Structure 1
Amino acid sequence: MPKITPRSFPQHAFETLNRNGLPPVLARIYAARGIEQPQQLETELSQLLPFVQLRNATLMAARLADAITERKRLLVIADYDSDGATACAVAIRALRKFGASVDYLVPNRFEYGYGLTPEIVRLAASRGDGWRPDILITVDNGIASVDGVLEANQLGMQVLITDHHLPGDQLPDAAVIVNPNQPDCDFPSKHLAGVGVIFYVMLALRAELRARGAFLADGKEPNLASLLDLVALGTVADVVKLDSNNRILVQQGLQRIRRGRGCAGINALLRVAKRDSRQATAYELGFMLGPRLNAAGRLDDMTLGIECLITDDEFTADQIAAKLDELNRQRREIEADMQQDALVKLATAVEAEELVTESACSICLYDPSWHQGVIGLLASRIKEKFHRPVIVFAPGNEGQIKGSGRSIPSFHLRDALDLVSKRHPGLILKFGGHAAAAGLTLLEQNFEDFRAAFEQISQSLLTPADLTRVIETDGDLDDAELNLELARCLAECVWGQGFPEPSFNAFFYVENQRVVGEKHLKLRLKKFDSNQRYDAILFFHTDLLPPRINAVFRVQANEYNGNTTLQLLLEHWLSIDSLTT
């Protein structure tokens, strides 16, 4: 059973924030998220970290400025997720504004895998249209592409790497590398997404071109702030930590979208998701737009997603968005089928005593019918349900299977795979990732051996306490704090990974409940310690709740029939066996 616990916060930070004008509830919320001074909440562009602090950004800008002057052909090598797609769109849009000769290539995940591989380099060098690139620019990949960069160098193509992933023991022999996580980079924000990195490089390039007098002829400088809607989308969708610098990027991008200044593709994706751009939040970016964009890379080709983001034609954008929406529907159906299969497999394994969920520290699943593009989502769903490190496999190349893993906070997945690899040489063909997510490749015949080895490592690293899901909340609210004003205030802020949206918990009587829309539960709740009653909703749940609950909830301004009222969004609940006041 999950444990509900309030977030702790430094008292001195709370007092400082409260003393500087924040009401107690907001001071408590922000203090619990590491905010110590009001200045840390500022989201003006003037507060962005300067690009000169990002190692090699100015050097890459000089190389790109030379390439533009010399009419060199530039080819952006993208990744097939939302971060890679938005990063590619930022690069294409900015470089074209600067007058560059530029195109892009995104690997098909099923044919070429991830990153700048030697195969992708050869494909770039032999483009059928005769447009052979002089320079390859990676976005959201490349830091691990040692062999790919070597191949490009041998074929006479220069490589410029922009990435944000952690480097391995060996860096590629690229002409320039910009990555906040590379050795000797002192950039304070280590959590830039790939789209954030290329945006910073484009800022540096504009400054370099300005210094060279490139904009004197017509007196017009490209407005790179127009790209912030793309930066916001990629940053939120890639689930990077929303430190203060990333919050500025996301907040500024959202403001553009709300003011009707988003690009045609983002507006089209919002329309197909039936969302109002004027009320867009990080939720829309992460849970509405991101999945639709990702669906192209998961089931088809991310070229479709990139074309949606680089077109300025609304009709074209609407057509592509409709295709992305259909792909996302297909993805949901495939994922639902796979999830049902996975749960049956788990139940069967438990009955056969092959896997006892309560005692097992990890879950590894494989089915030859599963779709490689959806296994990461399935791993995430199962991890949420069972609170265990989970790796899900699907067929890869002949004789191989590819796995995608998701982990819990106390278990560093990439390090665990490294331990398996060292203790069982040759068992894992290749792997990579970070603490929360990782990917790997095995021979199909070695799946059971890997599952046993991974479970052994998991048991050595995890304790029973680690396997208990902890739900952190921002505590209870009194009646004066729990109001529509708070809901509206919180909706204006940027929340996400590392800066979680506030949730609260309290004890309620369930006075009324009914199913609405055939799949949601509408409730009327009364707090134990007051006479105040609240409207609430529990999405995708139709079983009636017990009469007394301990509920975890978020607050929302609910608009219906022209009226705006406070609504509680229930995220979790526990039955209370005996009345406690």
Structure 2
Amino acid sequence: MIPNNYEWKFLSNNPNKSIIDNILAAKNILDSDKESFLNPKIADLHDPFALLDMDKAVIRILDAISQKQQITIYGDYDADGITSTSVLYMFLTEVGAKVNYYIPNRFTEGYGMNIDAILYLADNKTDLIVTVDNGITAIAEVDFARSKGIDVIITDHHQCLDQIPDAHCIVNYKRPNCTYPSQNLAGVGIVFKLITAIATTLKLSLEEYVYKYLDLVSIGTIADMVPLLQESRVIASLGLKLITHTRNPGLRALLNIINKNSQPTTSYTIAFQVAPRINAISRMSDANLAIELFTTQDTQRAATLAQILDNNNIKRKAKEAEIVTAAFEYVKNNIDLSKEKVLVITGTDWHHGVLGLVASKISQHYYRPTIVCTLDGDKYVGSARSVDGFSIINAITEQQQYLIKYGGHTQAAGLTISASKIRNFTEDINKANYEILDKQLLTPKIYIDATVPLSEVTIDLYNSLSALEPCGQNNSSPILLVKGKISKIIHMGKRSEHLKIILEDNNKFLDVIIFSQGQLSNFLNKGEEVEIAGSISKNEWNGKTTIQFMMTAIRSANETTSLYYLELYTKFQNSPMTHLKGLSYYEITQLIPSYSDCAAVFQYLKKYAADNISLNQLSFTLKLNEYKILQIIDIFCELGFLSYKYNNNSIYYRIESYTKNKLENSTRFNQLSQFLKGE
């Protein structure tokens, strides 16, 4: 059996529906919504004044413009906050506002409004603060701003607390009593609605003054991982089309670095190429450089700034890789994975800006909630990431007696804890969640949108699936299932770290690409039937376009049978006779090894001449089930032929002796043979 860490779940597979319709059904898209989902239009956007307090926000901002009052945009340092700040700053500048912006430092100030920043703004004669992508929890800070004579307009999309700030007005669809029809906007989406409302009030052309910013709005939307449904899908879709011929010099310069081959910009490009570079600048340097990039009209300065972002992303990746390596070492040397299901990893002098990224990689590898902390004086500063179905912020909140500061949401959180309390925190968060984090919760799931015959994996299907773009949160790229026989296994990469297998079914062939899992070749066999989950990709090389399949997961076609035999062996390893009574003669022959079975296994191990072999390879090559092979290995161990350890479908063995010894000298072999004879 090929190692498979996933629980496979099939969402929809109606044979009477097309592949696209099956995928839409899996995404719960009704037939009545199909057209608007596949072809989003400007007309699908909602009236911005349907947002509670939007009218108050527009009136106050226009009043500030007419009175030449100083407006300060109070932003955030992530991609959503940076694009939000950039868009609002450029729009307000164009309509005649006296406007500047303030971005808190990630390390010295942290997220959101703070008293020192407000003091600074008051000293610099700010009359009106407009927050973007923050502010909904800044109760004390808003009160302080008011005491300094500064009005505050909050635009945010984060969850409200029981009490909301006493601001001039609050534009947030998550407010109680707000009946806005779309609940998926990012912070930059709220800004887009705000500038639409202002432009509409001023009777300005939306095409000329507002829609030109959809490129940046789509970037912030995709980067912030809000569900790409309803209005957010419209924004992302229209924005991606605009990016192709963007008039923004900074964005164009950044894309020139990222996309040298002028490939179409997709949500994948934004999420994994553009957004990391925007986020890296605040992690490694100064977020204001990213805002300057998107707001400058100087193409030369834009090129310089784009290169600065790219260089900082390279530094970020190097720093992240360094800490990831150290974190894996920490787990190996300090954590008992059988007892600790919440991984708390500590280090010294780790860069604060990449702790969340490191936690994410460790969490994905072990599929456990992970908290990565670095020592900062007499306290640890940490970032946490979780697995589906487990709220890391709830788990952290339950241990608040140990914490100096904390915050976050279900899947990600941050915390500060006294160094003297980290051990007790680690013990208690694990005790509290040991039973909750059971095997089912700690098994990653893969959701199959549709099963596709190899004959239908074509360029036409690829083009059809492109209509589902933009893909992202709550609208993930479709995961398809293909089945077939392995006809070829090819190693790729300098260290053979990647694989390509050629799958065949009814004389139809498909290239399947497997990244960073070169070790899988030990478990794959030419001629073996497999099921592969993944996505279709287009490969263009030397003027030729081909379709390939990017593997997410693979499993043996006979996995259920293999699991049965493995569980049977585990259960009855030490009492192999217990479960045989009552079985038919045929069933017994499938479980009890014969002399020739034993000889075949020994000769294969001897010829293989390695220190480990996959159980799947033995089973497939010798046509013996897993139970029978492991019984034979136990017989050899009893006779002193070899010693072994079995782990995760691999048998690690050492031939101890070639001295002839009869199988009849094995108690286990004799008992099994006699049972087969009916003795």
TM-score normalised by structure 1 residue count: 0.89
In the alignment, which residue of structure 2 is the partner of 1:572? Answer: 553
In the alignment, which residue of structure 2 is the partner of 1:7? Answer: 10
Pick from 366, 371, 378: which aligns with 1:391? 371
Deviation at 1:573, TM superposition (A): 3.2
**Compared CA separation, residues 509 and 296, structure 1 to 2 (3 A):** same
In the alignment, which residue of structure 1 is the partner of 2:35? Answer: 39
In the alignment, which residue of structure 1 is the partner of 2:357? Answer: 377
Please state if 1:364 is matched with 2:344: yes
Pick from 50, 53, 59: which aligns with 1:62? 59
In the alignment, which residue of structure 2 is the partner of 1:192? Answer: 185
In the alignment, which residue of structure 2 is the partner of 1:321? Answer: 306
**Compared CA separation, residues 124 and 413, structure 1 to 2 (3 A):** same
Bigger Rg, which one: 2
Work out the CA distance in 1 between the residues paired with 2:13 and 2:482: 22
Deviation at 1:221, TM superposition (A): 7.4
Work out the CA distance in 2 between the residues paired with 1:358 and 1:471: 24
Secondary structure (helix, strand or coil) at the match of 1:429 reads strand
Alignment of 1:444-523 (within 5 A): 444-492=419-467, 493-507=469-483, 508-516=485-493, 521=498, 523=500
Does the Cα contact within 8 Å between 2:356 and 2:385 map onto a contact in 1? yes
| Aligned amino acid, residue 389 of structure 2 | S
Please state if 1:415 is matched with 2:394: yes
Does the Cα contact within 8 Å between 2:503 and 2:511 map onto a contact in 1? no
Does the Cα contact within 8 Å between 1:6 and 1:475 map onto a contact in 2? no
Work out the CA distance in 1 between the residues paired with 2:294 and 2:403: 37
In the alignment, which residue of structure 1 is the partner of 2:645? Answer: none
In the alignment, which residue of structure 2 is the partner of 1:21? Answer: none
In the alignment, which residue of structure 2 is the partner of 1:404? Answer: 383
**Compared CA separation, residues 558 and 150, structure 1 to 2 (3 A):** same
Work out the CA distance in 1 between the residues paired with 2:187 and 2:417: 28
Does the Cα contact within 8 Å between 1:420 and 1:457 map onto a contact in 2? no
| Aligned amino acid, residue 168 of structure 1 | L
Work out the CA distance in 1 between the residues paired with 2:144 and 2:26: 49
Work out the CA distance in 2 between the residues paired with 1:149 and 1:395: 32
Secondary structure (helix, strand or coil) at the match of 1:367 reads strand
Alignment of 1:251-262 (within 5 A): 251-258=237-244, 260-262=245-247
Work out the CA distance in 1 between the residues paired with 2:255 and 2:222: 15
Deviation at 1:189, TM superposition (A): 2.2
Alignment of 1:520-559 (within 5 A): 521=498, 523-527=500-504, 529-543=505-519, 545=521, 546-547=524-525, 548=528, 549-559=530-540
In the alignment, which residue of structure 2 is the partner of 1:158? Answer: 151
Work out the CA distance in 1 between the residues paired with 2:542 and 2:514: 20
Work out the CA distance in 2 between the residues paired with 1:333 and 1:297: 16
Work out the CA distance in 2 between the residues paired with 1:475 and 1:248: 25
Work out the CA distance in 2 between the residues paired with 1:524 and 1:339: 30
In the alignment, which residue of structure 1 is the partner of 2:627? Answer: none
Secondary structure (helix, strand or coil) at the match of 1:554 reads strand
Work out the CA distance in 2 between the residues paired with 1:506 and 1:513: 19
In the alignment, which residue of structure 2 is the partner of 1:238? Answer: 224
Q: Mind listing any 5+ residue stretches in structure 1 that lack a counterpart?
A: 19-23, 350-354
In the alignment, which residue of structure 2 is the partner of 1:432? Answer: 407
- Structure 1 residues 268-319: Cα deviation after superposition (integer angstroms, max 9, x where no partner): 1111113555500000100000000100111111001111111122222111
- Structure 1 residues 22-49: Cα deviation after superposition (integer angstroms, max 9, x where no partner): xx10001111112012134131010112
- Structure 1 residues 123-145: Cα deviation after superposition (integer angstroms, max 9, x where no partner): 22234xxxx21111111111111
Does the Cα contact within 8 Å between 1:77 and 1:104 map onto a contact in 2? yes
Moved more, 537-546 or 566-575: 537-546
Work out the CA distance in 2 between the residues paired with 1:460 and 1:404: 23
Does the Cα contact within 8 Å between 2:453 and 2:482 map onto a contact in 1? no
Secondary structure (helix, strand or coil) at the match of 2:175 reads coil
Work out the CA distance in 2 between the residues paired with 1:435 and 1:544: 33
**Compared CA separation, residues 184 and 323, structure 1 to 2 (3 A):** same
Secondary structure (helix, strand or coil) at the match of 1:279 reads coil
Alignment of 1:214-363 (within 5 A): 222-258=208-244, 260-276=245-261, 279-349=264-334, 355-363=335-343
In the alignment, which residue of structure 1 is the partner of 2:639? Answer: none
- Structure 1 residues 456-477: Cα deviation after superposition (integer angstroms, max 9, x where no partner): 2322433221011112222431
| Aligned amino acid, residue 431 of structure 2 | Q
Does the Cα contact within 8 Å between 2:132 and 2:191 map onto a contact in 1? yes
| Aligned amino acid, residue 530 of structure 1 | N
Moved more, 464-473 or 537-546: 537-546
TM-score normalised by structure 2 residue count: 0.77
Moved more, 200-209 or 329-338: 200-209
Work out the CA distance in 1 between the residues paired with 2:89 and 2:487: 54
Pick from 176, 180, 183: which aligns with 1:183? 176
Deviation at 1:262, TM superposition (A): 4.8
In the alignment, which residue of structure 1 is the partner of 2:19? Answer: 25
In the alignment, which residue of structure 2 is the partner of 1:442? Answer: 417
Alignment of 1:114-133 (within 5 A): 114-127=111-124, 132-133=125-126
Identity %: 30
Work out the CA distance in 1 between the residues paired with 2:19 and 2:201: 46
Deviation at 1:541, TM superposition (A): 4.6
Q: Mind listing any 5+ residue stretches in structure 2 that lack a counterpart?
A: 558-615, 624-679
| Aligned amino acid, residue 476 of structure 2 | P
Deviation at 1:491, TM superposition (A): 3.1
Work out the CA distance in 1 between the residues paired with 2:119 and 2:79: 25
Does the Cα contact within 8 Å between 1:106 and 1:302 map onto a contact in 2? yes
Secondary structure (helix, strand or coil) at the match of 1:182 reads coil
**Compared CA separation, residues 253 and 96, structure 1 to 2 (3 A):** same
Please state if 1:100 is matched with 2:97: yes
Moved more, 219-228 or 561-570: 219-228
| Aligned amino acid, residue 307 of structure 2 | A
Secondary structure (helix, strand or coil) at the match of 2:99 reads strand
Please state if 1:139 is matched with 2:132: yes
Does the Cα contact within 8 Å between 2:75 and 2:133 map onto a contact in 1? yes
Work out the CA distance in 1 between the residues paired with 2:496 and 2:141: 49
In the alignment, which residue of structure 2 is the partner of 1:75? Answer: 72
Work out the CA distance in 1 between the residues paired with 2:51 and 2:497: 47
Moved more, 275-284 or 160-169: 275-284
**Compared CA separation, residues 268 and 190, structure 1 to 2 (3 A):** same
Does the Cα contact within 8 Å between 1:520 and 1:537 map onto a contact in 2? no
Deviation at 1:516, TM superposition (A): 4.1
